[in-house]
């Protein structure tokens, strides 16, 4: 069986892009098998098919995994794997009954998933950001100016900017979605 690995990175807020990426790969004849490491996607050659991929972030569901997975199986979804808190599911497009067949079939359920991502992924990042990166950045910037400290200050600066981009992107997306749901 022919297999392929691709390295691709999706941020916390890009689960929909990741779902579409997996769908397009299957349409091109490469079925998603698993994701490992820091974004190594494993595919195997298959007949091209339109398959819907859905990701769910639900720590409570993972705590009761057997019931959680069975609930999706009962609705025709194939469970694939869990990766960094996300559960991966797929279902052939021909078996879909419009948007109500999606895991998140309305705006409120999508908003609830975003809240779970915030609590499970962004709050820990925010804690690391405030308790470790910010103090380390300022300690290195205001300490004796050795080349080593400048390099560390630069590294911490890059991490600070990266974290800020993640926080701002996610917050803007969440607030836009929340306003849309509340209308």
Residue 30: pLDDT band (50, 70, 90) is: very high
User: How, if at all, do strands 40-45 and 30-36 pair?
Assistant: antiparallel
- With bands split at pLDDT 50, 70 and 90, how would you rate the model's confidence at 134? confident
- Tell me how many helices (H) and strands (E) the chain has: 7, 6
**pLDDT of res. 8:** 95
Q: In what order do the strands lie in the sheet with 86-92?
A: 51-57, 86-92, 78-83
CB contact set of 103 (below 8 Å; sequence gap of 6+): 54, 56, 72, 77, 89, 109
Q: What are 91's strand-pairing partners?
A: 52
- pTM (2 decimals)? 0.72
**DSSP label at residue 143:** S
Q: How many CB atoms lie within 10 A of CB 168?
A: 10
d(CA 138, CA 92): 52
Residue 86 is predicted with a pLDDT of: 87
**Which of these, 24, 90, 31, 25, lies nearest to 55 by C-alpha position?**
90
pLDDT of residue 4: 97
pLDDT at 36 over 90: yes
What is the residue-averaged pLDDT of the chain?
Answer: 83
- Report how far apart, in Å, the C-alpha atoms of 19 and of each of 64, 125, 167 are: 24, 23, 21
Summarize pLDDT for 92-103 with one digit per residue, the tens: 999 987 655 566
Residues forming beta bridges with residue 31, ordered by sequence position: 44
13-22, 85-94, 154-163: lowest mean pLDDT where?
Answer: 154-163
In order, the DSSP letters of 149-177 are: HHHHHHHHHHHHHHHHHHHHHHHHHHHHH
Return the top range by mean pLDDT from 65-74, 92-101, 104-113: 65-74
Q: Are 88 and 55 in contact (CB under 8 A)?
A: yes
Q: Which residues pair with 43 in a beta bridge?
A: 4, 32
Contact in structure between 92 and 153 (CB atoms under 8 Å): no
Tell me which of 21-25, 41-45, 80-84 is least confident. Answer: 80-84
Percent of the chain with pLDDT over 90: 36
Residue 102: the pLDDT is: 66
Question: Is the pLDDT at 149 greater than 70, yes or no?
Answer: no
The pLDDT of 118-143, averaged and rounded, is 74
Average pLDDT over residues 8-14: 80
């Amino acid at each position: 069986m022919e297999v392929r690995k691709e390295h691709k990175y999706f941020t916390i807020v890009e689960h929909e892009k990741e779902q579409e990426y997996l769908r397009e790969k299957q349409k091109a004849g490469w079925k998603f098998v698993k994701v490992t490491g820091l974004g190594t996607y494993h595919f195997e050659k298959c007949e091209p098919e339109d398959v819907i991929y859905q990701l769910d972030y639900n720590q409570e569901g993972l705590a009761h995994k057997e019931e959680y997975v069975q609930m999706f199986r009962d609705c025709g979804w194939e469970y694939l794997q869990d990766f960094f808190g996300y559960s991966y599911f797929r279902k052939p497009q021909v078996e879909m009954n419009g948007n109500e067949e999606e895991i998140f079939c309305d705006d409120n359920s999508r908003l609830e998933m975003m809240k779970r991502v915030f609590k499970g992924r962004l709050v820990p990042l925010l804690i690391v950001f405030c308790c470790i990166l910010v103090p380390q950045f300022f300690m290195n910037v205001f300490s004796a100016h050795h080349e080593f400290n400048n390099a560390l200050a630069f590294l911490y600066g890059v991490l600070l900017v990266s974290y800020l981009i993640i926080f701002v992107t996610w917050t803007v997306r969440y607030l836009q979605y929340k306003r849309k749901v509340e209308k």
